[in-house]
Chains A and B, each alone.
Chain A
Amino acid sequence: MTSMTMNLGKTTRFWRAVNAILSTRVGAKLSDISRAPINRLTGLAARSKREFAKPWTPFTKKFPEARIAIVTTAGLYVDGHQPFDIDSVRGDPTFREIPTNVDPQQLRVAHAHYPHARFLQDYNVVLPLDRLRELVAGGALRDVSPRIFSFGFGGSLTREYIDPATGTAHEVARRLQVDGADFVLFVPT
């Protein structure tokens, strides 16, 4: 199993409480109806004066010849592997590998910032494994990359992802190269 552990030092039980609230029907409903103002607030908070690099790789393949890879921040992991740290104040920058042919019953989620009810009802709303299988069977895509990479709650983390020497996003990128991914579909939650 793949999990880099990092001691972030500061933890809080607060997100655990949020997670418990979002796990209730009322909490999930609150999340639904407050989505627009939360988007505005978090969008403003995320504004950065910092200039990030603007890499660009053209996509030139035909889809029937392309291998799709999925990367997500949904906090997914396979039963028996180490869950993400939902008590960390700043977020957990580590990632987990999920085999694309995973038994969906073995999927688990550790992410305190979104309601899990819809995912638990139908994993395809976050990880559309059935739809991708249909597309590959129908010849619309060549295949699906053998590993799905899931991150957890990212909060205010930056360097932990993008540092060229230690950033976890770099490690995932290298593994995607090993897997021969032709493009990545990134799925947030």
Chain B
Amino acid sequence: MCNRAGSLIANVIESYGIPTVCLSINREMSESVRAPRAGFVKFPYGAPFGEPGAARQQMKVLYDILGVLRRADAHGYLVDLPHQWRRTVYAELAPAAFAAL
């Protein structure tokens, strides 16, 4: 639920010359206090990377959020990531896919 604190902290870290990307599970809060870059997943509190034991899902969330870091072009960039709790089928994602980001 601490997306507000997350935005504040990420902005400070960014000001030290370190790029940041925030996973968000509270879109409204991420809109209220903008982080440099954020990707929203419609997941329950306490599970920002998805379901326990779902390694493919966790990997895909990582892939998508690193994609946000790559694509964001200005402060306040906020996108909805296409994950639906328990309704998305995840394919195996090879590390090579990340290298191509």
Contact = CB atoms under 8 A, between A and B. Distances in A.
Contact of B11 (A46, A154, A162): A162
Interface of B: 1-6, 8-29, 31-36, 44-53, 55, 58-59, 61-62, 65-66, 69-70, 72, 74-76, 94-99, 101
- Among B20, B34, B50, B101, the most chain A Cβ lie within 10 Å of the Cβ of B20
B46 A39 contact: no
A61 to B, nearest CB: 9
Given A39-B27, A43-B32, A63-B66, A186 B20 contact: yes
B1 A113 contact: yes
Contact of A184 (B19, B28, B31, B62): B19
Contacts of B27: 39, 43
A101 interface: no
A10 interface: no
A128 B12 contact: no
Given A46-B33, A177-B17, A189-B1, 8 more contacts: A31-B44, A56-B14, A57-B19, A69-B18, A118-B47, A153-B1, A185-B65, A189-B48
Interface of A is mostly: mixed
A115 interface: yes
A62 B99 contact: yes
Contact of B16 (A31, A155, A177): A177
B18 A173 contact: yes
Interface in A49-64: 52-59, 62-64
A131 B59 CA distance: 6
Contacts of B24: 188
Nearest to B30: A43
Interface of A: 31-32, 35, 38-40, 42-44, 46-48, 52-59, 62-64, 69, 71, 73, 91, 113-119, 121-122, 124-126, 128, 130-132, 134-135, 137-141, 151, 153-155, 157-158, 161-162, 167, 169-170, 172-174, 176-177, 181-189
Contact of B18 (A38, A53, A141, A181): A181
A148 to B, nearest CB: 14
Contact of A39 (B12, B29, B94): B29
A15 B36 CA distance: 30
Contacts of A54: 11, 34, 36, 75-76
A130 B29 contact: no
A158 B47 contact: no
